Amino acid sequence: MPGVSVFRREGDRISRVADTGFQPGDDFCALWHLLELLPGGAKGWSPRFNYA
């Protein structure tokens, strides 16, 4: 099953901090939901460029 995992390195130790599988109807098309899986979340991240 396709999905995504997020890992954190602390010194020599690597641990998985979040994971989820992709299923029909998921809203992972947007980057924001993937950023929220990171240990610190999106933290106000915004795109560097404006394409509008």
Cα(44)–Cα(26) distance, integer angstroms: 23
Spell out the domain ranges in the chain. Answer: 3-35
pTM of the model: 0.49
Cα(48)–Cα(31) distance, integer angstroms: 14
State pLDDT tens for residues 8-41.
Answer: 999 999 999 988 888 776 766 566 677 778 777 7
